[in-house]
Amino acid sequence: MSTTRNTPEALTAAIRGAGLRLTRPRLAVLSAVDAHPHAVTETVLASVRDELSDVSRQAVYDVLRALTDVGLVRRIQPAGHAARYETRIGDNHHHVVCRECGDVRDVDCAVGAAPCLEAAQTHGFAIDEAEVVYWGRCPDCAAHTT
């Protein structure tokens, strides 16, 4: 998956390529996440219900978990915020979060290849990812500060 919107054919191929059976809810959820980067579950649910009006909340949660488990979707959860989902995977990018409105944006890896940062001590772990969250105020919120 990438930062640009994928075609329905590409999303279909991704689901099948991950070894999942293609279902309308899976395709609708993956399409919704792809169309709404950093979406919370409620946004995904609303988008899916535009296409599949009878889909249950639990079905969307189950599909999000399945897509996350096979690596088609990345789940992020900045401290104090609801979980968010994105299809930009595999590049170990980071995020910047607005402290006021909660807007989340992608930040490319600061230095080098994944995992971008090297831990001073690994404690024997085979580290394969580093997560960095930058915090601040987005341009809109900063403009409204007195």
Q: Which pLDDT tens digit goes with each residue over 104-141?
A: 999 987 666 666 677 888 899 988 777 888 999 999 99
Q: Which pLDDT tens digit goes with each residue over 55-85?
A: 999 999 999 999 999 999 999 999 889 999 9
Do the domains at 8-76 and 91-143 have one common CATH topology? no
CATH class of 91-143: alpha beta
Determine how many CB atoms are found less than 10 A away from the CB of residue 137.
16
The CATH architecture to which 8-76 belongs is: Orthogonal Bundle (1.10)
Domain segments of the chain as ranges: 8-76, 91-143
Alpha carbon 96 to chain centroid, angstroms:
13
